[in-house]
Amino acid sequence: MQVPAARVLSVGIVLASLAARLEAGTCDEDLTCQFLDCRSPAFSVPIQVWGEIEPADAAQIPPERENSDWNEFTDAHDHTEPHWQALDVENGWIFAAINYGLQIWDARANPTSPVRVELLGRSAFPVWPTDPHHSDPVKDIDAPPGNDNIVAVALSGDAGLAVFNTTDKPNTVYRYADRNKDAQQVYAARIGSTDYSFTATRTSGLLAHNLTNAANRTTACAEQTPGQNICGVYTGRVGSRTSVSYVDGVGSSTGTSHWIAASSGGNAFGLEIWNVSNPGSPSLVFSALGTEFVHGVALWRRGTSNYYLGTRVLSGSATQARIYDLSCLGAGNCTGLGSPIWTANLPTGGSGLFVTDSSSGSRDFLYFGNVNRCSQGLQDEWLYDVSNPAAPRDVTPPPALVNGTQTGYWGWYYRRNPTGFNRVNPRMGKFYGQYFYRAAYSIFDIHRLTTAAPVAAFSYSPNTVYRGQPVSFTDLSSGAPTSWSWTFQSATPGSSTLENPTGVAFNSAGSRQVTLQVSNTSGSDTEVQNINVLDPAAQVGSVTVAPNPALVCQPVTFTAQGVTGLGPITHSWQVRDSQNQVVASGGNVNPFTWSTTAATDGTYAATVTVTNASGNDSATSPVLTLSPLPALAFTSPGNAPETLNGPPFGSGQVNFRIQSQGATEWRWSFGDQSTPTWTSDPVAGPQPSHTYSAEGTYTVSVEIRNCQQAAIASQQIQVSIPNTTPLVPQFNATGLFCSGGSCFADAGVPIAFNDGTTGGPDFWDYDWDGNGGFEDANHTSPVTSHTYASAGVFLPRLQVRRGAATTASFTHVLPLIVGGGAAPSVTVTGPTAGNVGDELTFGTTAANCVPYPTSWVWNVGENATVLGEATGTSITVVYPSVGDRTVQATAAGSGCDGTTDSTTVTIAPGASAIFLDGFDTGDLSAWGTVVP
């Protein structure tokens, strides 16, 4: 690789800076994750760790795109001290969400050195969080694909959604706000000819807005939906889920159909896929993963008909990245996720787990980021080439030694590594061409995708291939191939150099080999697949029969299995007796049900003939035995129904059974408002389940009959229903700090639990360690507190019981991460020296506190002047005289209540101080006091 001299010089600067830092020993390890002067400015990862991706920035990241010198205790919290939260790129314009505003960058002329053309702070936003302590409220930003004239911004707290018209980039203006919403993510889409946004809020669910109408407004408008809808922008709510944290979507190649995925992070299980082709009337496609916490989601399309979903799912103390094939969306036959086609285990990574999708040329990428400002290790983010979604490839270069220190490409930047920088955490990133723009909180940097040898992969459609019928092939290779060579065994054509050949027809049935070789300037790769080519003529594999044996009068169902062939295919049925005489026939149905009411006992078989334009085929069922009807009668244990699940009966549900001889139809009277009806179901007829809606005592009986004998009635039984309320257990820990899908506690410290169980149980049983043992059982009332004796990760379970047979269990929603029980501590930091009259700022932090301190009591000594607030996490003090001064902070209102720490600062006279010396009066009591 030829490296320009300027880059070599830049690398030398990086290595010199690293060597000085390591030699000083002040930044070797950052256990407290606090601001350190030596971790600024930020430098790009050096050449030793480059590979398929490399930094596009010079050695030192430009000051306008890095803020690693920001000190949370002393510096401003506004848009002038940017922290990059999220970004979107449209037509070469970069829209960046920063902690307290938004930026617009022009990358069209020079993608490696974008120019900032707009910076908007909180005053430019129509609505801002009412709580001034709400940190980093701007969470996400998105523009519709291909449209850089409008952006939607998600804000947390109670600020909601803000929409800006960006047609004139340096003079961007706000046009719409939906306030009083805690918004976390926003996805913008073009559906038909209209642009929409879908905003994930933790207070109001998933909301749809018409961005085209917002952009066309000539005046600004703010509202609070759904109570207000006065701006012509709000479209409606998608679904009934009240808390949504993540959202993404994808449209069809024609632009007329559109789907979105939504999940709730650690607030609720599962995800939902919605069809929003008509945003005003969305329809649920399906919900899935109902027992798992789903965080980031990404939907994308490859080619015209292949759709995929990327997720990040909480699994114990780690998260699992997954990809699902959702090509059923385009076919309109999606009923669920199915199994993932790819998985990978990733660490939890803090309180936000993001998945971002984007493309570079023909290559699709997923970027897995997070909210972890204390990242450590070689890698805490992943950039996967998912051009072949079933075999993603992380393009991150392998770790390497830099000046004797082992580092990873991404780990180079993390604050708790010896090489890292303050408050870097990998949140989101997107490609524009070959350039990858990363929003990593204290830095907004640029990386370049280089060329690597491709990895071949392909798919084909339709999935079922018939001789002589056209087949389309889609290249799924990663690594940006520039040439393609296809060979098709026994097919016309037999080869192709197109990227995605169509109209390939196989000349004969059987297993046929397809080979794809892809190449670029760095190398080539080959993929071989064997395709089972079927005969287009109609064929049938077998016929099944149920039930077998059966009683005369009992319906029998025949089903044709393994039917293949090009449609349309017709079915024709014949049932023959042992003399090969046709006794019944059926038309174009599958399965075919024979009533047997006119049959006699004996043996029978059914034959199905399947036919299409290319031919026909037949198959015959196994022999069916029809047994003669015995005399209609009730048998042991008696002439009355019996119950199988009680008494007592939980939730009003009772399972009944009647033992009846010769019956082929049953009619139950349950004694309530339900209407008795005859059924021939061989399972539900003799053994039904019935749910009573009200408490009381009911009289139950059943009639039986067959096609040859009249109905007879059973004796009656009495069923007493003491409770119809479903038994639903629920409990949750309270008073803990919860983040990233987990709650945190200390060993030896009691944890309070709230019980939300309904249904009036008799007993509560607890499995505190989550191993299924329910070791703490038989409580007649809920347990409200539990103390873990040792550290660990626990997912406690609750089982409740009512009566002798009703049991239900519930697993705690979030895992409890119990620490080693370290004692609460407080640390005071600040300057150790200053001058008379200086404004000196001191800060304090707490550890091992649940919850975190809500206020602080400061003691700064006599005669000192305190500027501003005196109960927060920092304090600014002015001392009027020289000497050693003690600054003490005491935590209040938390698990650290009463814990104290202090520091000492030495106050010197300063260059301009004038003191009383006492020489004129002989009074030395005022010695050292500044003259007013």
For residue 770, count CB atoms less than 10 angstroms from its CB and return exposed for 0-12, middle for 13-18, buried for 19 or more.
Answer: middle
Q: What residues does 210 pair with on adjacent strands? A: 196
- Asked whether 342 and 389 are in contact (CB, 8 A), the reply is yes
φ and ψ at residue 495, rounded to 5 degrees: -155, 165
Would you say residue 762 has pLDDT above 60?
yes
- Asked whether 855 and 893 are in contact (CB, 8 A), the reply is yes
- pLDDT tens for 128-138 read 888 776 778 99
- pLDDT tens for 874-919 read 888 999 988 889 999 988 866 567 788 999 999 998 754 444 444 4
Which residues, other chains included, contact 654 with Cβ-Cβ below 8 Å and sequence gap of 6+? 643, 645, 646, 689, 690, 691, 692, 719, 721
Top mean pLDDT of 113-117, 377-381, 626-630, 718-722 is at 113-117
**Averaged pLDDT for residues 524-529:** 94
* Res 9: pLDDT: 42
DSSP labels for 87-125?
Answer: EEEETTEEEEEETTEEEEEE-SS-TTS-EEEEEE-GGGS
- pLDDT tens for 707-756 read 888 999 999 999 988 878 777 888 989 887 765 556 878 888 899 999 98
Confidence of residue 349 (pLDDT cuts 50, 70, 90): low
Confidence of residue 493 (pLDDT cuts 50, 70, 90): very high
- pLDDT tens for 184-236 read 999 999 999 999 999 999 999 999 999 999 999 999 999 999 989 999 999 99
Would you say residue 165 has pLDDT above 70?
yes
- Asked whether 262 and 241 are in contact (CB, 8 A), the reply is yes
DSSP labels for 793-819?
Answer: EE--EEEEEETTTEEEEEE-SS-EEEE
**Averaged pLDDT for residues 555-581:** 94
By percentage, how much of the chain surpasses pLDDT 70?
A: 90
Q: The pTM is what?
A: 0.58
**Averaged pLDDT for residues 246-266:** 95
Q: Out of 315-319, 513-517, 582-586, 826-830, pick the least confident.
A: 315-319
d(CA 170, CA 167): 9
More confident residue, 575 or 709: 575
Alpha helices (H) in 488-629, listed in sequence order: none
d(CA 341, CA 318): 19
DSSP labels for 382-436?
Answer: EEEE-SSTTS-EE-PPPPEEETTEEE-TTGGG-TTSTT--TTEEEEEEEEETTEE
More confident residue, 162 or 79: 162
Confidence of residue 848 (pLDDT cuts 50, 70, 90): low
Q: If we measure between CA atoms, which residue out of 472, 529, 527 comes closest to residue 505?
A: 472
By percentage, how much of the chain surpasses pLDDT 90?
A: 61
* Res 928: pLDDT: 47
Would you say residue 28 has pLDDT above 60?
no
Would you say residue 833 has pLDDT above 50?
yes
Which residues, other chains included, contact 701 with Cβ-Cβ below 8 Å and sequence gap of 6+? 640, 641, 668, 669, 713, 714, 715, 716, 717
* Res 3: pLDDT: 42
Q: What single-letter DSSP state applies at residue 7?
A: H
Confidence of residue 647 (pLDDT cuts 50, 70, 90): confident
Q: How many residues does the chain have?
A: 932
Would you say residue 11 has pLDDT above 50?
no
More confident residue, 158 or 495: 495
DSSP labels for 300-312?
Answer: EEETTTEEEEEEE
Residue 373 in tokens:
């400002």
C-alpha separations of 12 from 43, 55, 400, 405 in Å: 11, 15, 17, 16
Would you say residue 313 has pLDDT above 50?
yes
Residue 5 in tokens:
């001299």
**Averaged pLDDT for residues 507-518:** 96
Would you say residue 922 has pLDDT above 80?
no
* Res 416: pLDDT: 86
Q: What residues does 87 pair with on adjacent strands? A: 96
Q: If we measure between CA atoms, which residue out of 133, 144, 142, 96 comes closest to residue 116?
A: 96
Instruction: Find how far residue 873's CA is from the centre of its chain.
Output: 34
Would you say residue 924 has pLDDT above 50?
no
**Averaged pLDDT for residues 42-49:** 95
Report CA dihedral (353, 359, 365, 368) to the nearest 10 degrees. -20
Would you say residue 516 has pLDDT above 50?
yes
d(CA 676, CA 664): 16
Q: Out of 314-318, 417-421, 535-539, 592-596, pick the least confident.
A: 314-318
* Res 518: pLDDT: 95
**Averaged pLDDT for residues 825-854:** 81
DSSP labels for 205-241?
Answer: EEEEEEHHHHHH-SS-EEE-TTT---SS-EEEEESS-
d(CA 759, CA 729): 8
* Res 362: pLDDT: 82
Mean pLDDT (the chain, rounded): 88
* Res 6: pLDDT: 40
* Res 250: pLDDT: 98
- pLDDT tens for 778-812 read 999 999 999 988 877 788 999 988 776 567 678 78
Q: What single-letter DSSP state applies at residue 168?
A: S
